Chains A and B, each alone.
Chain A
Amino acid sequence: MPERRPVVEGWFTTPTDGTPPALIGTRCTESGTYFFPPERVASRAPGFLDSRLEEVELSRTGRLWSYTDAQYQPPEPYVPVTDPHEAFCIAAVELEAEQLVVMGQVVAGVSVDDLQIGMEMELVVDTLDATTDADGSTIENLIWKWKPVSHGGAS
């Protein structure tokens, strides 16, 4: 079994106890502003540079703000997952409580015809691609993706 590993550290949870995953953000405790990717240097809310940043898990669902697909294979450092390339969707989802929009790939098996602005989307952790580590072992890279709440398929 290849090792499964988040492609980027500290941006999303990968629970093994069956609880659903979540994006990890930070929150400026004084202004109430959220940041994703998690801002760890200083609050970027103007006037709140000295505010404390606390780590928080972001809402697991949101409304579709916009969407598209990638009909052509993106250039490096994108790692192809199929040969030939198969189109995949990219969604921008608005989280209500945090009032921010987060982009992500959409799980396989969803086409733009299945999507509509305003529909409810949920966060899942899924395989992004596979790469080879320095010691030659295969790594299955994990990433967050969006999935229509009404849709079955990958989880």
Chain B
Amino acid sequence: MSVEQVAVLGVGMHPWGKWGRNFVEYGVAAARDALADAGVDWRDVGFVAGADTMRNGYPGYVAGATFAQALGWTGVPVTSAYGACASGAMALEAARQRILSGMCDVALVVGADTTPKGFLKPNAGERTDDPDWLRFRLLGATNPTYFALYARRRVDLYGATPEDFARVKVKNSRHGAANPYARFAKEVGIDDVLASPLVASPLRLLDICATSDGGAAVVLTSMDYARRHAGSDPLVRVAAISTVTPTFPNTVIEMPNFATDSAAGLPVPDRTFKQAIGDAAYAQAGLGPDDVDVAEVYDLSTALELDWYEDLGFCAPGEAEGLVRDGVTELGGQLPVNPSGGLACFGEAVPAQALAQVCELTWQLRGTAGDRQAGSPHVGITANQGLFGHGSSVIVTR
């Protein structure tokens, strides 16, 4: 079974960095590029979906309206979506539904962020009923704490080594060096990673992604509209958007919680939450892991990229280190992963990130990714996860 498709007619990004300017500026720049790429006049956009940022005051909570106003009010209906790192996929899904229901032909999806320095931390105040506040107050558990708990299991269960993790960073840094939108353009070696300070054992500074400013935008249209307006590049379609939540009992510790569900009462689901994210996308698209030519996965840490290989079905549990070692997921390999350079080269700009993944896969499928072109792919998948139980996976095809 596969669902009805929509087209990605245009994509655009503002370069990632630590620019320190208003997030709206990055969103507008990305939106202008996406509209120009699509050949669509802003006044013809029938729906705007904004991916929210929580760190930039009220305009960030109403991102859809913020971007619509910045581009010039046209009366266009808006929505604003928040699902942490998965916000972009939620906004994209809102736009897809609007198009598939026949309520509009053209939708603009925008996400942008301006981030503070250092660890991401909870909003201020004394909030003893907010697990995101409590994990810092009671445990001192930062985001890298969680990344490290997962990484440690790869070390103890599969024999992963610091060099295995470092190879992921080395690969992604090589990819990102060819990406004008990436923040970190410097290639790093295994020794650089191993020489960087430990943050949360076994992860070192260069195993963990930074936080960045950035913006990304996608113009989605109905297939009919796209056929009438498409240029000479191959037409990229959205074959699936997965926004699943966990199934109880979720037995893997999930940020920002500090306990899992209990499996003492009800049976544990066959698939973990992260496995279910990709599964739902494959089911929508009527495709499977063997069909995938290129992937953009959420490498919050080097070890997490390896987890995704297994959760997306690229290999069996414990085999992901081998894929990197053998160059399978490198540009030129059988299944390039993170040809953009991934978070390793971008750093995380939360609400823009799921959309940036779609931008990259669109360029890859069109064959316009330049020095980081991953062959001639027909099917690409993204994977991403937002805290508080937000799955995000998009499959694009041509």
A contacts, CB < 8 Å to B = 7-8, 28, 31-37, 44-46, 48, 65-72, 74-79, 88, 90, 92, 97-105, 112, 116-118, 128, 143
CB distance from B318 to the nearest CB of A (A): 14
Nearest 3 CB-CB pairs, A to B? A33-B265, A68-B148, A31-B265
Contact B152–A67 (Cβ < 8 Å): yes
B2 / chain A contacts, CB cutoff of 8 Å: none
Contact A74–B119 (Cβ < 8 Å): yes
Contacts of B127-175 to chain A: CB distance below 8 A? 128, 133-134, 136-142, 144-145, 148-153, 156-157
B258 / chain A contacts, CB cutoff of 8 Å: 102-104
Instruction: Give Cα A70 to B249, complex, Å.
Output: 28
Contact A103–B253 (Cβ < 8 Å): yes
A71 / chain B contacts, CB cutoff of 8 Å: 197-201
- Nearest A residue to B260 via CB reads A101
A116 / chain B contacts, CB cutoff of 8 Å: 156
Contact B157–A117 (Cβ < 8 Å): yes
Contact B264–A100 (Cβ < 8 Å): yes
- Nearest A residue to B156 via CB reads A117
Instruction: Give Cα A31 to B263, complex, Å.
Output: 10
Is B248 an interface residue, CB under 8 A from the partner?
A: yes
B contacts, CB < 8 Å to A = 118-119, 121-122, 124, 126, 128, 133-134, 136-142, 144-145, 148-153, 156-157, 197-203, 248-249, 251, 253, 258-266
Instruction: Give Cα A88 to B145, complex, Å.
Output: 11
A31 / chain B contacts, CB cutoff of 8 Å: 265-266
Contact A100–B201 (Cβ < 8 Å): no
Contact partner of B141 among A65, A90, A101, CB < 8 A? A90
Contact B201–A112 (Cβ < 8 Å): yes
A45-B266, A71-B198 known; A105+B248 contact, CB < 8 A: no
Contact partner of A68 among B124, B200, B261, CB < 8 A? B200
Contact B138–A34 (Cβ < 8 Å): no
What are 7 sample pairs from A and B whose C-beta atoms fall under 8 A apart?
A: A45-B248, A71-B199, A76-B124, A77-B137, A78-B137, A88-B140, A103-B259
B266 / chain A contacts, CB cutoff of 8 Å: 31, 33, 45-46
